[in-house]
Amino acid sequence: MQSENRPVLLAIESSCDDTAAAVMQGGVLLSNITAQQIVHARFGGVIPELASRKHQENILNVVDAALKEGGTRISDLDAIAFTRGPGLLGSLLVGMSYAKGLALSLDIPLIAVDHLQAHVLAHFIEEPRPAFPFLCLTVSGGHTQIIRVDAPLEMTILGKTIDDAAGEAFDKTGKMLGLPYPSGPVIDSLARQGTPKYKFTEPRVAGLDFSFSGLKTSIKYFLRDQMALNPHFIKQEKAHICASVQETIVNILLHKMDSAAHMTGIREIAIAGGVSANSSLRERFETKAREQKWNIYIPKLQYCTDNAAMIAMAAHYKYLAGKFSDLSVTPEVRLQF
Ligand code: KG4
Ligand code: ZN
């Protein structure tokens, strides 16, 4: 047992298709291991049944590697954290059951973590850290949210997608263009060779909510009409189509974040989630930050995509606040803090 303010935590993340474990002591990350499941690529998306089976296969090795890299013995652990949701039920169950078994056998507390709260707290793994209050745009394959953060565990969702996530818009566009999954990084690099010469309208959604399904439909009909005129259209125009779609998605994200900053008067702006790797999004946010005098924060990519370090960070704050769960806790597929 370590000192009360420097707990040694093992965190497990298994909400979607990455099996991850991390060890943290007193808020300092000691190890961060992720096993990515490449099995889904050939299906063009995550297959839930396969994901949970792969988590079962990976979890022992991933936890062992995290403990070894952290120089941590299992008897050093003060608590076990796991992702409670949101996520795929079969995937969440693997991480949660493992965490419960370990907590029970070691007779140490269990900490249930909200995956979306953890994405935000990824900003506290390393310096520079945003000052409170700040706004966080979480953009990934499964989430698109604008969150106001007043303290580590005090967060309010100001806006969220009413249908698809931003990463999904990239991935579904990629599918229509015949690109591999996940398509976000491929579209990002193709877009650099093109210009955004095709215009897609931004959806009109009230307040700070987002919508991406209308964009998906307009891309689909645009491609259908163009291919009817020229069967080589996608092949010939791929880079321009990618640049155009990417610009539209980034516009939508940037405009909503701008509105959120104006509405709240907050200029501490954080971005989390896998889509934050997008080069255009980064450039456009950095330009906007200079214009609007925002302080902008984007963690390293390994803390932006799904990872267990962020679960450990959230668990650290929950440990200090005494927020533990008992063994009857269940996964929450649609958990909202
Ligand atoms: O956070 P993440 O790894 O997993 C989820 O929780 O979903 O995010 C994955 C998403 C995918 O949709 C992927 O296409 C997108 O992030 N992505 C990108 C880029 N890199 C990853 N989207 C646009 N540009 C990128 N460079
Ligand atoms: Zn995520």
The token pair at 194 is 């093109």
DSSP for 270-309 reads EEESGGGG-HHHHHHHHHHHHHHT-EEE---HHHHSS-SH
Query: Taking the alpha carbons of 299, 301, 305, 306 in that order, is the dihedral positive or negative?
Result: negative
Of 19, 140, 183, which is best to mutate to test ligand 1, by the most ligand atoms within 8 angstroms of its C-beta? 140
Distance 139 CA to ligand 2 centre (A): 8
| Ligand 1 atom with the shortest distance to the CA of 273 | 1
| Ligand 1 atom with the shortest distance to the CA of 246 | 23
Q: How does pLDDT run across 174-204, given as a tens digit for each residue?
A: 999 999 989 999 999 999 999 999 999 889 8
Measured CA to CA, the distance from residue 34 to residue 140 in angstroms comes to 17
Q: How does pLDDT run across 40-96, given as a tens digit for each residue?
A: 888 877 888 898 999 999 999 999 999 999 999 999 999 999 999 999 999 999 999
Q: Are 66 and 311 in contact (CB under 8 A)?
A: no
Q: Are 8 and 72 in contact (CB under 8 A)?
A: yes
Tell me which of 28-42, 122-136, 271-285 is least confident: 28-42
Distance 237 CA to ligand 1 centre (A): 23
Distance of CA 213 to the CA centre of its chain: 19
Of 15, 34, 170, 189, which is best to mutate to test ligand 1, by the most ligand atoms within 8 angstroms of its C-beta? 170
Collapsed DSSP state (helix, strand, coil) of residue 81: strand
Q: Residue 26: which region, alpha, beta or left (left: phi > 0; alpha: psi -120 to 50)? A: left
Distance 324 CA to ligand 1 centre (A): 31
Global pTM? Answer: 0.94
